[in-house]
Amino acid sequence: MRSSQIPIIVLGLAAPLATGCDPDCDNPNRLDGLHNVWSNVVEHTPSPDAIPDEYPVGEVFYNGHSEWRLRYVQNQRAFDLELNDQQYNAQYRKDADNCNAFRLSFEGVYVTPGGAQHEFEWVGDLVYFGTHIGGTFEYISDWSDLGTGTAGHVWTVGELRSTSGAGDTGY
C-alpha cells in the first residue's frame, strides 16, 4: 500500500465517528433505564435576586440532581418518563443530521417535596454518548405554593448532564 492511500483509509474509518452515528443509532430503546441527572441554570427570569424567598429553588428538578427513568414506547414514538417518582410522557425527535442528537420534551405538573406545584414545559436538545447524555434545555413554569400563598412565573435556560444509574446500563 502506498503512503498516499493511508489518509483516505483513515478518513473512511473515522467518517462514522464524525457524524455521531453508532450501530444502534436508530434504536431509541438504548436510552431506556435509570439516569442520574444534574441540571444547572444558565439564565433565569425573573433574576435570582427577584425570586421570592419562598420559591423552592432547591426542590425543583431543573436545578440540581434528579433521577429520571426512561422507557421508550414504540407505538407512541415517545418515552414514559419517571422523574423523581412523578410520571410524564416525553416526546422524542431524533435529529436529522446526527443520529445521537435528539430533542426530548415533556410537560405537566411537578410537585416539589415541600408541596409547591409547578405547571411546566421542559424542552431539551440532547446528545447521547453511550452511558452519558448531555445538552441544553429550556424550562417554563407557572408555580404556586398554597402553604405560603406565593405564586409566580419562571423561565430558565440550562445545561443537563446525566450518567446511567447504578446497576442499570441506561440502554
Would the pTM of this model clear 0.85, i.e. be above it? no
Q: Partners of 164 in the beta sheet? A: 35
Q: How far apart are CA 60 and CA 28, in angstroms?
A: 27
| CA–centroid distance for 131 within its chain | 14
Three-state DSSP class for residue 164: strand
Instruction: Provide the CB-side half-sphere exposure for 105 (13 A, CA).
Output: 8
Q: What are phi and psi of 146, to 5 degrees?
A: -65, -30
Q: For cell 435529529, name the residue.
A: 95
Q: CA–CA distance from 7 to each of 10, 16, 19, 80 (Å)?
A: 5, 15, 18, 45
Query: 84-143: per-residue pLDDT in tens?
Result: 999 999 999 999 999 899 999 999 999 999 899 999 999 999 999 988 999 999 999 999
Mean pLDDT of 30-46: 93
